[in-house]
Homo-oligomer: A and B are copies of this chain.
Amino acid sequence: MHENIEAVQESTVAGLGRLAGFFGFSEVMGRLYGTLLLSPEALSLDDLAEDLQISKGSVSMNMRSLERWGMAKEVWMRGERKKYYMAESQLWTVIRNVLSGRELREVQLALEVLEESVDKLRAVEDELPADESDLAKYTLRRIADLRSFFQLAQMALETFVDSRDEFDEDEINRLLAR
């Protein structure tokens, strides 16, 4: 294969690995995804292990993660016993999967804790001696700020996640293309 093609693939795979790590996934997941994304044909577990020089076990586990996140799909090859995978190449779909399955969950969890806290504080607010009342008011204010913040984050995330048809990806790509 032409050395430039190979070099480009390698740096892209490495870059996606780095990125995956940055976003809280394992680097191997990113490299697997990159390898699949740049391969015209679906690849088997052995192909991937060979390609990235990692153990079969690692490929197996990480591919299952990729599948769960909707970043890769299994491809059935008739007459084949091996499993073959291809990357989900719709990047918006991938991002939506991640945001809805992880960031949104995290924000909602935070919100639950904060709502609960506000309620607790409001409940005792009036029965406190002066010095503690001040502290309670202060705490309440700060927690209310946090809550507002997360509420907005939640709204933004939900809007984005539910916007399946609002964006025409090809359209955007055309606008951005040189």
- In the bound complex, what is the Cα–Cα distance between A19 and B113 (angstroms)? 12
CA distance A135 to B147 in the complex (A): 50
Interface size class, chain A: 35 or more
Please pick, from B9, B134, B143, B172, the residue contacting A148 in the complex, using a CB distance under 8 A.
Answer: B172
Contact flag A4-B120 (CB < 8 Å), given A12-B113, A151-B176: yes
Q: How far is the CA of A139 from the CA of B36 in the complex (A)?
A: 11
* Copies of this chain in the oligomer: 2
Distance to closest chain B CB from A89 (angstroms) = 7
A113 in complex: contacting residue of B1, B11, B136, CB < 8 Å: B11
- Kindly identify, within residues 76 to 129 of chain A, every residue whose CB is under 8 Å from any CB belonging to chain B: 89, 91-92, 106, 109-110, 113-114, 116-117, 120-121, 123-124, 128
CB within 8 Å of B: which A1-36 residues: 1-2, 4-5, 7-9, 11-12, 15, 19, 22, 24
